[in-house]
Structure 1
Amino acid sequence: MDNTTEKLQRLIICLLILVVGGSTSLKNLKITVPERVRVGDSALLTCSYDLEDAHLYAIKWYLDEEEFYRFVPKNEPPHDTFQVRNIQVNVSSSNMQDVTLVNVQNNHTGRYKCEVTEDIPRYDTKLQEADVLVVDVPETEPRIAVDRLHLPAGEKLQANCTSGASRPAPNITWTLNGAPVSINSPSQLSLIQKAT
């Protein structure tokens, strides 16, 4: 066998190893989470993926860098939960794609990650992440207080809008006769915002 043929055979073997051994069946990984969740509500987190002809080895869920849920189909039971910030997982409605959180709390705000690993022989792993903001909405409607109920034209009216406690702080929009009021409005209004 001459040197050129031997080099060509080595090149073909290397290419076959790269194409066959280096390919992955794990494709189209996508995480879907609610952007905002109210304190006390449930949240469905979904990690969709395509394994083509491969099998799932494991899916793991993280809040920031801490693993709180794992699904391994070969294990009995396949579900495993870990204590992270008192996250409560509804195991009966969680599976190889979905995880359901119940009674979500403020400290569950953060970056959620799903990590999918395909089974042998490749054990290829991919990860996607998305942010969730847990909101604590006010329990009461905003209250408006004015310094006087009647005033002559051209006089100043001082008004205060107070909102109940919330996290994050609420956005308050003033309106006059149904139209939003801004600092630049021609009615010569001045707005002063105070956070309490």
Structure 2
Amino acid sequence: MTETDQHQSRISIIQDVVAVFVLSITAVLTAWCGFESSKWGGEMSIAFSEASSARIQSVAAEGEARDQRQFDLTIYSQWVVAVADGNDQLADYIEERFAPEFAIAFDAWQADGMAENGPFATDAYVLPAALEAADLSARADQKFTEALENNQRGDNYSLLTVLFALVLFLTAMSQRDVKTWIGRAFLGMAIVVAIVGIGILMTLPVRI
């Protein structure tokens, strides 16, 4: 065997070793991307479920606030009628039956000289159910946004799986019975694509 043949043989051995290394690493990375894609898909489903639950609770709380507001409005209307009729005894009786939240707003309205168009227009009229509805609605929006982000993360890992599949394909092609320079070109492209994929992979969040 000539020196040239020995040199070519060593290069072929090195190329085979590199190809096996690239195949092994890429196989592991492909499996990892599949795992992460599945995990982020699960996180997406959980976030969507939490968003849906928060939205339902928000609607229920808003309904409770609306009912309370309607009750306060009805009571207040009776008070207005009693005052207009000059029936102070009835007006006092109605005042004693104001809901706590409305009573606070009513007192603040009177203390301010009744400048606003009724207690409902004052900042003091705050219903806990309305606050809860707002908080739950904000949580639903947050969880929905989180679900979309998790979905995108899962898609990113899925795309990386395709990218690493291309690395496997190019590496396998480099091992076919082709001209030496063609095999090296395939292996070189596989290494470049693998490096790009690894670089992207390092920027993605991880969920265990």
- Higher relative contact order by CA 8 Å / sep ≥ 6: 1 or 2? 2
Higher-Rg structure is: 2
Relative to the length of structure 2, the TM-score reads 0.24
Q: Give the structure with the higher percent strand.
A: 1
Q: TM-score, normalised by structure 1?
A: 0.26
The structure carrying a bigger helix percent of its residues is 2
